[in-house]
Structure 1
Amino acid sequence: MSASPAARGYPDIGALAFGGKGRFAVSLSMYAELYLVGIGFLILEGDNLDKLFPGTSLSLGPGIVVSGKNLFIVLVSIVIVPTMWLRNLSVLAYISASGVLASVVLVLCVLWAAVVDGVGFLGKGSRMLNVSGLPTALGLYTFCYCGHAVFPTLCDSMKEKDKFYKVLVTCFVACTLNYGSMAILGYLMYGDDVESQVTLNLPDGKLSSKLAIYTTLINPFSKYALMLTPVATAVEEKLLAGNRRSINSMLLRTFLVISTVIVALTVPFFGDLMAFVGSLLSVMVSMLLPCVCYLRIFGTARCSRTQVLLILTIIVLGSLVAAGGTYSSLKKIIHERAL
């Protein structure tokens, strides 16, 4: 949106469209989404490390034992904290690049497990269309393409900002190929029995399985700070004002990581949490708010009928996904939490 040179990010666009309330709504949705994605990364790490090293535990004193997934979530957070202290996103970009390579290696490892290690393309008990799971699936699909919240921050950090749109096209094409390949492989190999993370389905003891899990572990390490840095920056601007480079900033960012650990230990359900994020927050940030702000800023008089029709279609579909997916994912989280 180029309606104002002052609009450099989504909160600015919200303010341009609806004033202070618009800025607050966009900021809340955007930062909540990024925050919950960071929590999902911790759960992902805990699940896979627990599969690699089952039965691991640590005694912290008489009657205090931390074990399994919970232990690994805490250990991973300790390793991640230093990456949160980095302020230059160009440095984080190099770290994140390793995650791109890891995603490609993961697909190849799963393919190897299917073709060489005897898992095969079973597709046992699989259904081509599961209507009851559609709300959750749509939420997960939306989540896969929900990086919009960090786009303005990334663009501002680029040396050659005129190449930003080429970067976007390249990223979306690469993501589609990667996600599509993994979805097809997981469906053909395990059908309805596929876990929220396909690495949890892979046979124990196989080299391809271990390599797949190890590469899966790289992604959260490489992207956690990229997701949480905009949140940390926003909190610093409110609480620390001009003193953002002091020890107080490091402490604040450390406490931010600790808070995500607490939530990850409380709601350790990766698939359901990501479906919730995708259904509610990702739809808000990526579909609903941009469309509503666009119509508010430019008005229907300055948009063609085709544009208005397309925008209204996106709003209606997005609202349906948000309502159905949020209800479905919250119901599953509550059910899992009660067990």
Structure 2
Amino acid sequence: MPTVWFNDLSVLSCISATRVLTSAIILGSTLWIGAIGRIGFNEKGTTLHLKGIPTATSLYAFCYSAHPVFPTLYTSMANKLQFTKVMMLCFLFCTLANMSMAVTGYLMFGSKVESQHDCCGYDSSLFGSLMSLVGAFLGFTTSVLLPCICYLKITGSSCKRVGLELVVVGVVILMGIFTAIVGTWTSLKEIIGIF
């Protein structure tokens, strides 16, 4: 939605609030179907599939890839001292919502969940693979790698000594590069496999 349509950009906060409400409704509906419907939460299966970790990580990164808008959010806040609290609350909500949906889906369907290609057809399988690609390549680049590299560039003089901070940032960068490469490769293989 073009922001030039609004005289007052505070309307966008209402739109964001509806997105939060929508996420809560979807999670609540899923829980309702499991509890009240005939599905239940009794399924069992293999908890961890190592082969699916790159795709899962890429999709997870896609959920958190809004980092590039944070500077805009910060500058538009009336009380900039609340920024850290707001971000922590947002990340906490997203993490709890994603984890709740994953656990609920696993308890409802277990290992009976079929692949997207078998279950939903060609288009949604491609969509899931494309979102995994976006999460792996763009999500990790804009949300993990670039902020860490910019942080090192900004604090260059204080990070010249090897200390805990530099080690942690370096590890995050290496993990981000590894995850971006493996996730991108896995997503591209899935996309090529669809065709």
- Shared topology, TM-score over 0.5? yes
Once the two structures are TM-superposed, the CA of residue 282 in structure 1 deviates from its matched residue by 0.9
Q: 1:128 and 2:66 equivalent? A: no
The aligned residue for residue 137 of structure 1 is 56
Among all aligned residue pairs of Structure 1 and Structure 2, give the percentage whose two residues are the same amino acid. Answer: 43
**Contact kept? 1:142, 1:283, Cα under 8 Å:** yes
2:158 to 281, 302, 305: 302
The aligned residue for residue 25 of structure 2 is 105
What TM-score, normalized to structure 2? Answer: 0.85
Once the two structures are TM-superposed, the CA of residue 123 in structure 1 deviates from its matched residue by 3.0
2:188 to 324, 330, 336: 330
Name the aligned partner's letter for residue 9 of structure 2. L
The aligned residue for residue 126 of structure 2 is 269
**Contact kept? 1:140, 1:278, Cα under 8 Å:** yes
Once the two structures are TM-superposed, the CA of residue 161 in structure 1 deviates from its matched residue by 2.4
**Contact kept? 1:136, 1:329, Cα under 8 Å:** yes
Give the 3 Å change call, closer, same or farther, for CA 135–315 of structure 1 in structure 2. same
Within 5 A, what are the aligned runs for 1:1-339?
85-86=5-6, 88-123=8-43, 126-192=45-111, 193=113, 269-299=126-156, 302-303=158-159, 305-336=163-194, 338=195
**Contact kept? 2:136, 2:184, Cα under 8 Å:** yes
**Contact kept? 1:89, 1:157, Cα under 8 Å:** no
Give the 3 Å change call, closer, same or farther, for CA 132–87 of structure 1 in structure 2. farther
What TM-score, normalized to structure 1? Answer: 0.51
Corresponding residue pairs, total:
187
Give the 3 Å change call, closer, same or farther, for CA 319–268 of structure 1 in structure 2. same
Consecutive unaligned residues in structure 1, runs of 5 or more: 1-80, 201-265
Name the aligned partner's letter for residue 19 of structure 2. G
Consecutive unaligned residues in structure 2, runs of 5 or more: none
**Contact kept? 1:89, 1:154, Cα under 8 Å:** no
Give the 3 Å change call, closer, same or farther, for CA 89–267 of structure 1 in structure 2. farther
Once the two structures are TM-superposed, the CA of residue 297 in structure 1 deviates from its matched residue by 2.8
Q: Distance in 2 between matches of 1:268 and 1:87?
A: 40
Larger Rg computed on CA atoms:
1
Q: Distance in 2 between matches of 1:132 and 1:103?
A: 28
Give the 3 Å change call, closer, same or farther, for CA 131–84 of structure 1 in structure 2. farther
SS at match of 1:269: helix
